Structure 1
Amino acid sequence: MPSTPTASSGSPWSVAPEPVGSAAAAALWRAYYTEVSDRWYELNEGRRTDPAELEREIAADTGAGLTPPGGVLLLARYDGEPAGTAGVRLLDPATAELTRVFVTPGLRGKGGGPVLLTAAEDAARGLGAARIILDTRNDLVEARALYARNGYEEGAPHNSGPYAEHWFSKPLAPRTT
């Protein structure tokens, strides 16, 4: 698992582990959840998320699985400012799950997604995983395209989550030093 920021030299992006309860992580979790929840409700019910439901659901998912020793939350910064997250948690000794992949809307298209995926894959390897899996929804077409561009292959369902409509996986080659 990376203990120092990762990104290519000269990049405005850096990624490092972050406590799930930090102010930056909490703010990005709120932004992520609000966006995906509102998107679902707008598409399916023509409305935004009810504020009470939003608060309840944000509080309910504490990110407990994204803490050592079996997980990590990664926080991306762009020119030093919090700009995105990716979570990795072990499901079994060889399989990690990727979750909470998010880049703030104003910074999308600036390379943060691939930087986060690379850091998440490195973190998964550091946890001992040989493959990484994830699920996503039909309407999150940008996310699906990001995963496909970065070597993730869509396959059979690996869970039965209520919002899981597409399942991806990627084998993780051993770390090179």
Structure 2
Amino acid sequence: MDRAIADDPTDDLVGCYVGRCGGRPAGCAGFRLVDPATAELKRLHVAAGARGTGGGAALLSEVERGAAAPGARSVRLDTRADLVEARAPYARHGYGQVTPFNADPYAEYRFEKRL
């Protein structure tokens, strides 16, 4: 994780969200604007003990709402092949697989959703 963050810093986030479960931080997500019409989801994570509670979906919804506010018309993301459990929720929330839009060495899958 440290190497991935070092290779792809996220110091340009436009929105950053923290999800809570039982009053404690349990997840996070952020987005950056690639251009005025395109947001990129970064670092969506839900703690193991909070998975299955709807927290990931809530964070994803907040990212979409936040990205739409300044005018983004789509949200895209990439994910690694070993994060099997991450891909199904994106499909359930309207994200479709797209052709590569970056050269991230850790990304084997890329998705996008029109807002």
Residue in 1 aligned with 2:74?
131
1:111-158 Cα offsets, whole Å, 9 max, x none, are: 111111101100111132000000111111111111111110011111
C-alpha distance in structure 1 between counterparts of 2:16 and 2:32, whole Å: 9
Aligned length: 114
Residue in 2 aligned with 1:175?
none
* Unaligned runs of at least 5 residues, structure 1: 1-32, 34-53, 173-177
Residue in 1 aligned with 2:42?
99
Residue in 1 aligned with 2:12?
65
Residue in 1 aligned with 2:90?
147
Residue in 2 aligned with 1:5?
none
Taking structure 2 as the reference length, the TM-score comes to 0.91
Structure 1 counterpart SS, 2:41: strand
Residue in 2 aligned with 1:84?
27
Q: Which runs of 4+ in 1 moved over 6 A?
A: none
Contact 1:90 1:127 in 2 (8 A): no
Residue 59 of structure 1: CA displacement? 7.7
Contact 2:17 2:29 in 1 (8 A): yes
Specify whether residues 62 and 157 from structure 1 end up closer, same or farther in structure 2 by C-alpha distance, changes over 3 A only.
closer
Specify whether residues 106 and 136 from structure 1 end up closer, same or farther in structure 2 by C-alpha distance, changes over 3 A only.
same
Structure 1 counterpart SS, 2:28: strand
Higher strand share: 2
Q: Percent identity?
A: 51
Contact 1:131 1:170 in 2 (8 A): yes
RMSD: 1.7
Structure 2 counterpart SS, 1:168: strand
Contact 2:10 2:42 in 1 (8 A): no
Contact 2:4 2:106 in 1 (8 A): no
Taking structure 1 as the reference length, the TM-score comes to 0.60
Give the partner amino acid of 1:83: A
Give the partner amino acid of 1:117: L
* Unaligned runs of at least 5 residues, structure 2: none
Higher helix share: 1
Q: 1:108 aligns with which of 43, 48, 51?
A: 51
